[in-house]
């Protein structure tokens, strides 16, 4: 049976992609940026919520959501790298680099083992996403560095967990939420 592509959850995800690209055109840490950024965050939450509530989850939707997440993170790197370069100490960049290496190993492992792109929606990955999403709001606070440290620890745990899941699983498990629970 042919999968329907233009479902309400997928439309939400597509709106997030368009909004994310729009963020490239707006100066960060301004009101227009925060408004569009918040819209992207709301659509990120809504797509999965609507899909589950209407029983319209799909493989295509899960992949589209992962692609939207990657686009979002890429745009955030472009927009916030110059700001973070001024704020974060050198040692923090080594930690971020280690997290990214683990994440890359996870993606490569999944590609080799399952012959597909696989980014799991584990609880720790969701926590990382939430922390990273809140970063622009936190950069203007006095505790910005501490917040970045906590986010890096959570991201490291999430990346390690996903890497281990891909290493230890016999087959691709897109719905897996924890390393110790299926």
Instruction: Check pLDDT > 90 for residue 173.
Output: no
| Structure token pair of residue 133 | 């999403």
Regarding whether 173 and 140 lie in a shared domain, the answer is yes
Regarding whether 112 and 170 lie in a shared domain, the answer is yes
Residue 182 pLDDT? 57
Regarding whether 175 and 120 lie in a shared domain, the answer is yes
7-66 per-position pLDDT tens digit:
999 999 999 999 999 999 999 999 999 999 999 999 999 998 999 999 988 889 988 998
Regarding whether 80 and 123 lie in a shared domain, the answer is no
> Which of 27, 56, 86 is a domain's end point?
86
Regarding whether 100 and 60 lie in a shared domain, the answer is no
Regarding whether 1 and 37 lie in a shared domain, the answer is yes
> Which of 64, 86, 108 is a domain's end point?
86
Number of domains the chain is built from: 2
Regarding whether 43 and 109 lie in a shared domain, the answer is no
- Domain range for residue 138? 88-182
Element (H, E) at 59: helix 59-87
Regarding whether 92 and 80 lie in a shared domain, the answer is no
> Which of 47, 66, 86 is a domain's end point?
86
Residue 107 pLDDT? 93
């Amino acid at each position: 049976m042919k999968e329907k592509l233009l479902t309400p959850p997928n439309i939400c995800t597509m709106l997030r992609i368009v909004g994310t690209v729009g963020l490239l055109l707006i100066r960060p840490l301004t009101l227009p940026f925060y408004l569009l950024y918040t819209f992207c965050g709301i659509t990120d939450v809504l797509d999965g919520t609507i899909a589950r509530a209407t029983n319209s989850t799909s493989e295509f939707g899960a992949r589209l959501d992962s692609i939207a997440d990657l686009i979002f993170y890429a745009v955030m790197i472009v927009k916030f790298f110059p700001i973070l370069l001024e704020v974060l100490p050198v040692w923090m960049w080594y930690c971020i680099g280690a997290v990214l290496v683990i994440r890359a190993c996870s993606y490569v492992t999944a590609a080799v083992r399952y012959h597909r792109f696989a980014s799991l929606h584990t609880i720790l990955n969701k926590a990382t996403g939430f922390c990273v999403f809140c970063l622009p709001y936190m950069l203007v606070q006095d505790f910005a560095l501490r917040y970045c440290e906590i986010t890096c620890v959570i991201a490291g745990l999430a990346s390690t967990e996903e890497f281990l899941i891909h290493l230890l699983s016999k087959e691709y498990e897109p719905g897996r939420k924890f390393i110790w629970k299926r």
